[in-house]
């Protein structure tokens, strides 16, 4: 008689100094974990190899403008990479506006003239953003936590910034007025909205000396009768089952599809498009949009490959999973449920 696999929804993921990915959530948990030395050698060998190069810039995409949502609507605007603006329409009030991992800088790097450079401009310019109520930061990698952008937002808004444990020390450098740190599955209430952090399989560092000293994850956003899930940066794994067990109905999933080659070690931290479709099938959202592709060259896949593979992988799905253009908006109507 076969027994169903029973998984702990909140396994140990902190050893008192550093965070780690629970082995039980990895689909390849029989593969030996690499030592830091092995990881360093693999990355160095990859960086020194002849790698495909993206163009320095792409032709401009269709111009897009922001509109305000009607009461009960949710507008999800893909700005670029992992930056999405969510606007929830409210009766008789300004919309609730939440932005994820805002990165508007030319490079995702600690250096102004070195590091991955943006090849597509933000779909909505930073100066054109409306007032922001909440900023969600999934982890401290430079392509997700951009302190120059956060300093601009801190000067313009009294937004609350919500992130994972250990990230406050970085975020305080941006002068953000309100910072909330949460462990996996913890939640906070603000602006009549419930934000709950969710697990991910990834890692963190901003220097060679602080690897995994801050936690990574995603967010479930429950606002104005809608549930929107932002996965952050993650590999494919069994944590998606744990998320679905807690929220068996989701209106919108925001899932990463890029930065997956070379697969032999990127598979531990990033999903490819086919795995993102597996996550979509596990979570069963009404709709999904793709992130983490086509803006910064972080890995070896061609610039147009992730969106093309996603279209092929999801073509037989009755529900829609789409890679939007930078600045394009998906509308969740008020009567989605």
Share of residues in the chain with pLDDT > 70 (%): 90
What's the rounded mean pLDDT across residues 133-137? 97
Q: Which three-class secondary structure string do you get for 234-268?
A: CCCCCHHHHHHHHCCCEEEEEEECCCCCCHHHHCC
What DSSP designation does 192 have? Answer: T
Q: What is the pLDDT of residue 41?
A: 63
Q: Among 28-42, 235-249, 274-288, which stretch is predicted with the lowest mean pLDDT?
A: 28-42
What's the rounded mean pLDDT across residues 152-158? 94
What's the rounded mean pLDDT across residues 16-45? 72
Q: What is the pLDDT of residue 56?
A: 86
What's the rounded mean pLDDT across residues 210-232? 97
Average pLDDT, the chain: 90
Q: What is the pLDDT of residue 46?
A: 55
Distance CA 258, CA 231 (A): 13
Which residues are CB-contacts of 174 (< 8 A; sequence separation ≥ 6)? 147, 150, 151, 153, 154
- Give the model's confidence band at 111: pLDDT under 50 very low, under 70 low, under 90 confident, else very high: confident
Q: What is the pLDDT of residue 264?
A: 84
Distance CA 79, CA 164 (A): 22
Give SS3 for 193. strand
Q: What is the pLDDT of residue 2?
A: 37
Which residues are CB-contacts of 270 (< 8 A; sequence separation ≥ 6)? 233, 234, 235, 256, 258, 259, 260, 292, 299
From the number of C-beta atoms within 10 Å of its C-beta (0-12, 13-18, 19+), residue 171 rates as buried
Calculate the CA 246 to chain-centre distance.
19
Neighbours of 46 (CB within 10 A): 16
Q: What is the pLDDT of residue 59?
A: 81
Distance CA 96, CA 11 (A): 33
Question: Is the confidence at residue 47, as pLDDT, over 90?
Answer: no
Question: Is the confidence at residue 1, as pLDDT, over 60?
Answer: no
User: Per-residue pLDDT tens for 167-196?
Assistant: 999 999 999 999 999 999 999 998 789 999
- Give the model's confidence band at 58: pLDDT under 50 very low, under 70 low, under 90 confident, else very high: confident
Distance CA 209, CA 190 (A): 34
Angle between helices 239-246 and 273-283 (to 10 degrees): 30
Give SS3 for 45. helix
Decide the pairing of beta strands 83-90 and 74-80.
antiparallel
Q: Alpha helix (H) ranges present in the chain?
A: 36-48, 147-156, 168-171, 239-246, 263-266, 273-283, 305-313
Question: Is the confidence at residue 97, as pLDDT, over 70?
Answer: yes
Question: Is the confidence at residue 258, as pLDDT, over 80?
Answer: yes
Share of residues in the chain with pLDDT > 90 (%): 77
171 or 45, greater pLDDT: 171
Q: What is the pLDDT of residue 37?
A: 60
Q: What is the pLDDT of residue 112?
A: 80
Q: What is the pLDDT of residue 249?
A: 97
Q: Among 56-60, 70-74, 139-143, 179-183, which stretch is predicted with the lowest mean pLDDT?
A: 56-60
**Tokens describing residue 135:** 């900023």
**Tokens describing residue 189:** 């209430």
From the number of C-beta atoms within 10 Å of its C-beta (0-12, 13-18, 19+), residue 43 rates as exposed
- Going from the C-alpha of 50 to that of each of 43, 54, 96, 109, 336, the distances in angstroms are 13, 13, 46, 21, 48
177 or 31, greater pLDDT: 177
Residue 160: closest CA among 146, 143, 139, 181:
181
- Going from the C-alpha of 232 to that of each of 3, 21, 219, the distances in angstroms are 32, 15, 8
pTM greater than 0.85 (yes/no): yes
Question: Is the confidence at residue 31, as pLDDT, over 70?
Answer: no
What's the rounded mean pLDDT across residues 67-84? 96
């Amino acid at each position: 008689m076969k027994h169903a696999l029973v998984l702990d929804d909140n396994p140990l993921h902190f050893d008192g100094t550093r965070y780690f990915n629970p082995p039980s959530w990895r689909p390849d948990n029989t593969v030996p974990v690499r030592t830091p030395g092995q990881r360093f050698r693999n990355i160095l060998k990859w960086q020194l190899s002849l790698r495909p190069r993206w163009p320095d810039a792409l032709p401009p995409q269709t111009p897009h403008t922001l509109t305000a949502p009607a009461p009960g609507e949710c507008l999800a605007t893909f700005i670029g990479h992992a930056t999405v603006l969510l606007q929830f329409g409210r009766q008789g009030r300004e919309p609730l506006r939440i932005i994820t991992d805002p990165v508007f800088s030319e490079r995702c790097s600690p250096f102004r003239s070195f590091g991955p450079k943006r090849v597509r401009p933000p779909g909505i310019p930073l100066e054109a953003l409306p007032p922001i109520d909440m900023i969600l930061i999934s982890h401290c990698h430079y392509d997700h936590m951009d302190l120059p952008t956060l300093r601009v937002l801190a000067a313009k808004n009294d937004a609350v910034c919500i992130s994972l444990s250990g990230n406050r020390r970085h975020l305080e450098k941006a002068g953000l007025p309100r910072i909330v740190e949460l462990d996996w599955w913890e939640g906070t209430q603000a602006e009549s909205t419930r934000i709950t952090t969710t697990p991910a399989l990834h890692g963190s560092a901003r220097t060679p000396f602080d690897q995994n000293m801050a936690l990574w994850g995603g967010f479930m956003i429950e606002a104005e009768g809608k549930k929107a899930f932002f996965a952050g940066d993650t590999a494919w794994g069994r944590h998606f089952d744990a998320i679905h067990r807690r929220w068996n109905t989701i209106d919108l999933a925001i899932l990463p599809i890029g930065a997956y080659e070379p697969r032999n070690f990127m598979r531990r931290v990033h999903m490819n498009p086919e795995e993102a479709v597996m996550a979509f099938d596990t979570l069963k959202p009404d709709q999904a949009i793709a992130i983490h592709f086509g803006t910064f060259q972080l890995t070896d896949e061609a610039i147009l490959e992730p969106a093309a593979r996603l279209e092929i992988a999801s073509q037989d799905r009755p529900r829609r999973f789409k890679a939007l253009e930078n600045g394009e908006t998906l509308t969740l109507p008020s009567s989605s449920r």
